[in-house]
Structure 1
Amino acid sequence: MKKVFFIAVLTVFGVTATQAQEVRLGAKGGLNFSSFSGDGFDAFDDPEGRTSFHIGAFAEIPLSERFSIQPEVLYSGQGFDLISREGADDTEVQLDYINVPVMAKVYIVEGLYAEAGPQIGFNVKSEIDSDPDDEGSGDIAIDEDIINDVDFSVGVGAGYQFNNGLFLNARYNFGLSDVFNNEDLLIDSDAKNSVFAVSAGYSF
């Protein structure tokens, strides 16, 4: 996990070395609303999905007045609700990733921007939690062979950058690769990560 994290950090910040005076660095965090798309898990998937968080850092690299590239490194809690029970705790499939998106940003008017780009994710945690409200209680590890280590997705979103460095952002990531390794899974599934994220952050 540490090696993956350091590689991801180098991916984001190593590219800025020769243009440091032009690059805006920053940090961001927020909420994830995640579930699965595709076939094979619809009968178990709570439409509300799993609510978790993301946190990380980024570097915005301007290429023109209105266009920039923004690589990021994020720790992201994803997964879905396996069982939703009225009056009782949900049972969650918790899949956490270190994600490295590279977003192309276009400023439509001052402050307001749209973004889109690819993302690669590295799975660092996979478990079933029957009591998500109690940290460490009800955790059951998922066999690592069942979960694919690498996840590919595409993100699209929009945001607003204030003059003081603060910004708000909303982004949807839709998975391109299977979450599960079907060779080690008892059922055939093409389940893919589906994550809507809202963020707040600061750049300087």
Structure 2
Amino acid sequence: MKKLLLVAAVAVLGISMNAQEFRFGPKAGYSYSTLKAKGDGQSETSDPLHTFYIGGIAEYKLSDKFALQGELLYSPLGGRVNIEAADPEDPTTFLNFKAKQTFHTLLIPVSAKYFITEGLSVSAGASVGLILSAKEKLSADFGLGPLFELDADQEVDIKDQVNTLNLAPFIGAEYALENGLFFDARYNLGVSNLAKHAEGNEKLTNSFIQVGVGFKFGGN
């Protein structure tokens, strides 16, 4: 009887292992990042920062329909924040000043995936962002986009003004080809308050969209 149970357990384990699939590989793409400041019942969203992301993924397929995925990515995130003129009623103040804030971030996204078809999946999870450094650079324009940068060779270090953790739940979708190539898109909603010295109900969050491509090695 014990031998029969052992054989049955091995058989079940074998079936389970056959249904599982581990794949890994690189991914890279485009990041569209904004900052949102809230306080005193008001909120303002920055102009976007157009950057990139690069890193790798590991996918563990539990069954034909479900998988777990972990990633390690690097991306410069942030936004272009408006700076109010010292005297907004001065008619000679025609330039629009902005502060380009860049948070160099290490992202660790973890998600659960559901496969609608063999190649198409949707996912939900959370990205743990660790801000490695934070820089600010001033720019000015005439309302038609950045035309030149002030002190272009100098960036101000603002890391002491920014909290390190940027937690962002996300939803996304992926389409994978049989050869391992895949395309994905994801929206990350920043929920952590990045303002280190916030007063009262002040809050600064960083949300971002990622669109990219990658390749998965391994699998059955």
Q: Same fold (TM over 0.5)?
A: yes
Distance 1:63 1:87, change over 3 A: farther
After superposition, give the CA deviation of every residue in 1:47-72 in whole Å (9 maximum; x if it has no partner). xx111111101100011111100000
C-alpha displacement of 1:129: 2.1
Residue 139 of structure 2 corresponds to residue 138 of structure 1: no
Distance 1:79 1:100, change over 3 A: same
Matched AA of 2:57: F
Gaps of 5+ in 2: 1-16, 84-93, 140-145
Matched AA of 2:131: N
Higher strand share: 2
Q: Give the aligned partner of residue 119 of structure 2.
A: 111
TM-score of the pair, normalised by structure 2: 0.72
In 2, are the aligned partners of 1:130 and 1:138 still within 8 Å (CA)? no
Residue 131 of structure 2 corresponds to residue 123 of structure 1: yes
Matched AA of 1:171: R
C-alpha displacement of 1:96: 1.6
Aligned with residue 191 of structure 1, among 198, 201, 204: 204
Residue 210 of structure 2 corresponds to residue 203 of structure 1: no
CA distance in 2, matches of 1:187, 1:51: 31
Q: Give the aligned partner of residue 99 of structure 1.
A: 107
What are the residue-to-residue correspondences of 1:11-26 with 2, within 5 Å? 22-26=21-25
In 2, are the aligned partners of 1:101 and 1:118 still within 8 Å (CA)? yes
In 2, are the aligned partners of 1:77 and 1:97 still within 8 Å (CA)? yes
Matched AA of 2:107: N
Q: Secondary structure at the match of 1:113?
A: strand
Structure with the greater alpha carbon radius of gyration: 2
C-alpha displacement of 1:91: 3.7
In 1, are the aligned partners of 2:30 and 2:211 still within 8 Å (CA)? yes
Q: Give the aligned partner of residue 59 of structure 2.
A: 60
CA distance in 2, matches of 1:109, 1:89: 49
After superposition, give the CA deviation of every residue in 1:141-163 in whole Å (9 maximum; x if it has no partner). 11x33211112110101110011
TM-score of the pair, normalised by structure 1: 0.77
In 2, are the aligned partners of 1:126 and 1:141 still within 8 Å (CA)? yes
Matched AA of 1:195: F
CA distance in 2, matches of 1:157, 1:87: 39
Deviates more, 1:184-193 or 1:98-107: 184-193
Q: State the aligned residue count.
A: 178
C-alpha displacement of 1:130: 3.0
Matched AA of 2:207: S
In 1, are the aligned partners of 2:36 and 2:44 still within 8 Å (CA)? no
CA distance in 1, matches of 2:102, 2:215: 28
After superposition, give the CA deviation of every residue in 1:51-99 in whole Å (9 maximum; x if it has no partner). 1111101100011111100000000111011249x99996411012101
In 1, are the aligned partners of 2:82 and 2:96 still within 8 Å (CA)? no
CA distance in 2, matches of 1:44, 1:137: 27
Gaps of 5+ in 1: 1-18
- Percent identical among aligned pairs is 31
In 2, are the aligned partners of 1:44 and 1:81 still within 8 Å (CA)? no
Q: Please, what is the CA RMSD of the aligned residues? A: 2.8
